[in-house]
């Protein structure tokens, strides 16, 4: 009798305990993120995560630059407002170095770390440890209008050079009918026009700094690259080029106004979709052009999730990280949105999936581009920094944007290319001196 009672009481007690534990597990995570389509889908599907684990999610969605500044302010002052933050390959090594991020290499055996693209994993690591998990990655490639090329009798080679691209753009430009041979980013910003221009400078053989951290902006490679860019856009580009970033050029190309566009691989999803692009059947893709060297000709960027050390819900946050970047999540997106909308560039298994390859004919080129974009070897010569389309130092946001403004001024015809580069060189030098990289 007594043992039955004791058993019964133990049963009740353990039920209460389990109940209390699951009640305690009703935690809430605050996630700071950007407003891109893949993130929008993630928010849409996150009720699945809450159903599985009981963890609730609060989303704070901001534009990229605002997000970066907001999160930096919060972490630097140890205020602890966020449990998960969306960062890129630029911030990951920097913030890891500053001790702001938790290590996330331990997400369980089912996660399959080796399935992540090695270049992407590498870009999100510091001192060999992983500090952020990628939820989408991209490189850059060339988009072009097959119909315009056919009309002009041009065939796109397997690996175009910039000289070829320039001649193609000249042939197909028809400003009277609103066709601009080439559209390129012109909006000033380290992540806007200079993301593209750094790759251009790289492939023309240039670099941002030499091994002694001296800026190289007046080197012959820079002169050639920027002059090429300014001349080409003036000849064959749309009128408001200095206001056109990724978004504006995407709108231009998808409404049929551009003949060639060199930009992010993620644009393919929009351009190939007849619902969002009036030229969906005429788009062709090719690798990003090269000039003197293939190094750094196409960029590498990954938006990833990481956990600030100031978070008080580390375990729960890790659960979300694992869920949102797992193979299961990719299948979940495929079921709900279709294969063409799955987050690209993170897992190699996605690119071996026949359903995906069928829905996204551009996929093999994207995979090849991401595999060959190496943050540790972005230039022809040896350099003291990592990063393909950026330099991974805290000062680069300011430097890249200021130089971006200088080049925009040259593109707008307000100054010559030489003068613009001299200004850029001077201001960059000043910043590097002020930050004690050089005396």
| Helix, strand, or coil (residue 111) | helix
Q: Which of 27, 112, 431, 437 binds other proteins (CB under 8 A)?
A: 431
Residues between 327 and 386 that touch other proteins (CB under 8 A): none
Residue 29, Cβ neighbours under 10 Å: how many?
22
93 in contact with other proteins (CB under 8 A) = no
Nearer to other proteins, 6 or 414 (CB): 414
Residues 46-65 that bind other proteins (CB under 8 A): 58-65
Give me the least distance between CB of 82 and other proteins, in Å please.
6
From 103-111, 134-142, 186-194, 281-289, give the range in contact with other proteins by CB under 8 A: 186-194
Among the listed residues 173, 242, 346, 353, the single contact to other proteins using CB under 8 A:
242
DSSP 8-state assignment for residue 260? E
Residues 390-419 binding other proteins (CB under 8 A) are: 394-395, 397-398, 401-402, 404-406, 408-409, 411-412, 414-415
Among 77, 218, 349, 416, binds other proteins (CB under 8 A): 77
Kindly state the number of chain residues that form the binding site for other proteins, as judged by CB under 8 A. 76
Q: Cα-flanking dihedrals φ and ψ of residue 12, to 5°?
A: -60, -45
Tell the smallest beta-carbon distance from residue 233 to other proteins (Å). 11
Shortest gap between Cβ of 385 and other proteins (angstroms)?
Answer: 15
- CB closer to other proteins, 380 vs 409: 409
Instruction: Identify whether the C-beta of residue 385 lies closer than 8 Å to the C-beta of residue 391.
Output: yes
Nearer to other proteins, 162 or 180 (CB): 180
Instruction: Based on the shown chain and the rule CB under 8 A, indicate whether residue 218 belongs to the binding site for other proteins.
Output: no
Q: Would you state the structure tokens that stand for residue 379, as one six-digit string?
A: 């230039």
DSSP letters of 311-337? -S-HHHHHHHHHHHTSHHHHHHHHHHH
Other C-beta atoms closer than 10 Å to the C-beta of 330 total 21
> Going by C-beta distance under 8 Å and a sequence separation of 6 or more, which residues neighbour residue 59?
31, 33, 43
* DSSP secondary structure, 117-172, as one string: -HHHHHHTEETTEE--EEEEEE-EEEEEEHHHHHHHT----SS-BHHHHHHHHHHH
- Out of 93, 160, 189, 289, point to the residue binding other proteins (CB under 8 A): 189
């Amino acid at each position: 009798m007594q043992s039955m009672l004791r058993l019964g009481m133990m049963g009740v007690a353990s039920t209460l305990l389990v109940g209390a534990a699951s009640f305690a597990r009703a935690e809430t995570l605050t996630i700071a993120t950007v407003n891109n389509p893949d993130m929008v889908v993630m928010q849409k599907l996150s009720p699945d995560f809450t159903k599985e684990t009981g963890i609730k999610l609060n989303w704070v969605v901001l534009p990229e630059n605002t997000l970066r500044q907001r999160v930096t302010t919060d972490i630097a002052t140890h205020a602890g407002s966020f449990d998960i933050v969306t960062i890129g390959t630029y911030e990951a090594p920097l913030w890891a170095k500053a001790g702001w991020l938790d290590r996330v290499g331990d997400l369980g055996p089912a996660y399959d770390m080796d399935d992540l693209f090695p270049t992407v994993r590498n870009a999100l690591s510091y001192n060999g440890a992983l500090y952020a998990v990628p939820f989408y990655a991209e490189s850059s490639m060339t988009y072009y209008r097959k119909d315009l090329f056919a009309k002009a009798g041009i065939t796109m080679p397997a690996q175009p050079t910039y000289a070829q691209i320039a001649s193609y753009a000249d042939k197909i430009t028809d400003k009277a009918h609103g066709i601009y041979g080439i559209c390129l980013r012109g909006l000033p910003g380290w992540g806007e026009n200079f993301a593209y221009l750094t790759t251009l400078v790289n492939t023309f053989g240039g670099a941002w700094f030499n091994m002694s951290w001296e800026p190289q902006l007046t080197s012959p490679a820079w002169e050639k690259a920027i002059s090429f860019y300014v001349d080409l856009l003036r000849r064959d580009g749309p009128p408001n080029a200095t206001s056109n970033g990724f978004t504006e050029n995407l709108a231009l190309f998808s409404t049929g106004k551009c003949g060639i566009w060199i930009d992010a691989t993620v644009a393919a999803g929009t351009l190939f979709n007849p619902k969002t692009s009036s030229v969906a059947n005429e788009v062709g893709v090719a690798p990003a052009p090269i000039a003197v060297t293939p190094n750094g000709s196409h960029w590498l960027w990954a938006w990833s999730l990481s956990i600030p050390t100031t978070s008080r819900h580390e375990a729960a946050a890790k659960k979300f990280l694992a869920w949102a970047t797992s193979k299961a999540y990719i299948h979940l997106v495929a079921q709900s949105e279709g294969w063409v909308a799955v987050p690209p560039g993170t897992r190699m298994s996605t690119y071996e999936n026949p359903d995906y390859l069928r829905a996204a004919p551009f996929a093999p080129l994207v995979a090849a581009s991401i595999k060959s974009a190496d943050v540790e070897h972005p230039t022809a010569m040896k350099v003291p920094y990592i990063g393909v389309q950026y330099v991974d130092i805290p000062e680069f946001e300011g430097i890249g944007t200021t130089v971006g403004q200088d080049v925009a001024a040259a593109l707008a015809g307000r100054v010559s290319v030489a003068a613009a580069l001299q200004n850029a060189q001077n201001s960059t030098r000043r910043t590097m001196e002020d930050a004690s990289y050089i005396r």
